[in-house]
Amino acid sequence: MICFTPSLDPGDARCRLVKLIPSHPDFSCFQSDLRRLRRMSAAFAAFCPPPWPSPGLCLTPEIHYQSELWFPLAELQPIFDRFLRTSLGYPPPGGTPFSEEASWAGVAAVLPPPLSCCTTPVRLMQRLLTDYEARKRYLFWSGMPKRFYGEAMDRYPQQTAVIRHWLEQRETVEQPLRCLDAACGDGTATYGLTRLLLDYGLSQEGFEVNGWTIDPLEVWAAAHCAFPHDPLRQKAFRRWALPVFASGAARSLSFRQADLLSVTPDRQHFHLILCNGLLGGPIINKEEEMRKIIGNLAALLKPGGMMLAADSFHGGWKQKCPHHELRALFASAGLTPFEAGEGICGWKQG
């Protein structure tokens, strides 16, 4: 299990990251794949008319069709999936960009710098096999695409107001106040919750905040406020997290890898649990999966505690899992549900 405490020290970040992305994996098994990709690229260069795949290309059905003729994703995806497994020091929890795009042209159009010049699969693979920095950026870009995260740091301001009201209305103050940001992703809400607790007046000894996510790269990114594939986001994120580090409250935070479908109750019970941006979205949308996760989290909630779930960026998925269905699942887990800000809340009776 991967578990990191927050640190802005570059040495800590490098030392921890090399455990997740080894600097010298054995890539000898890719030689035959490179030969195959070279043959595909040679045929493409000799016979394919423009426009060719390139960054920012306006994609049309014809371009997707033409790209599939010369670079079929059905042949490329297994190669890049195997590269992902070979490059990481752990089994990857998700897929690759190839599973999200309609053609190689779609992949080439969104590659991040400095990979955007790799307009053929063989150029991309050669770069990834020989350049650690490029490989690191590709792996973060694959595992933490921008569509996973909103631009705003406080994504659920109404939910934040609900939490502040709950803090003000609590009759008994048990310390430390134990909080869990389940499915914390890049840690935005984890730092936001910590800022809220500091603003409310709690000292760093008065609370503990835990962030759980299934992807070890997200654990690392959250703990180090670092996004190798997105320098602009990293700069904004560090401004957001700075009050936490400046106050010394980073010592009251921890981030760890956790699968919410298999987490079991232990002595770590929480007064407050957030589970935003997960339930009813593209990753967790089957009723039995949602029921399992809600039940697991409800079992981790202390009597008198509160669990909140909100989602503002899954669009059409809300039609498949509207709030009233989540409310019913909260109730089936023994929680008293009610509307709360942008989402719902479940209160566990004392």
Instruction: Report pLDDT for 332.
Output: 95
Architecture of domain 157-347: 3-Layer(aba) Sandwich (3.40)
Mean pLDDT value of segment 246-255:
97
Give pLDDT tens digits for 101-119. Answer: 999 999 999 998 889 999 9
Inform me whether the pLDDT recorded for 6 exceeds 90: yes
Mean pLDDT value of segment 335-349:
91
**Which residue type does 269 have?**
H
The CB density around residue 350, as the number of other CB atoms within 10 Å, is: 9
Provide the mean pLDDT of the chain.
91
Place of tokens 């595909």: 40
Closest to 301 (Cα-Cα) out of 251, 328, 337: 337
Cβ partners under 8 Å of residue 174, min gap 6:
271
Work out the pLDDT band at 316, boundaries 50, 70, 90.
very low
28 SS3 class:
helix
CB hemisphere CA count around 311 (13 angstroms): 23
DSSP for 150-204 reads -S-SSS-HHHHHHHHHHHHH-SS--SSEEEEEET-TTSHHHHHHHHHHHHHT--G
Q: What is the DSSP letter of 22?
A: -
Give pLDDT tens digits for 41-57. Answer: 999 999 998 889 988 88
DSSP for 93-130 reads SS--GGGT-SSHHHHHHHPPTTGGG--SHHHHHHHHHH
C-beta separation of 110 from 147 below 8 A: no
Cβ partners under 8 Å of residue 316, min gap 6:
none
**Buried/exposed 190-199: b ≥16 CB within 10 Å, e otherwise:** bbbbbbbbbe
C-beta separation of 260 from 297 below 8 A: yes
C-beta separation of 341 from 296 below 8 A: no
Closest to 289 (Cα-Cα) out of 250, 256, 262, 327: 262
Domain locations along the chain: 21-143, 157-347
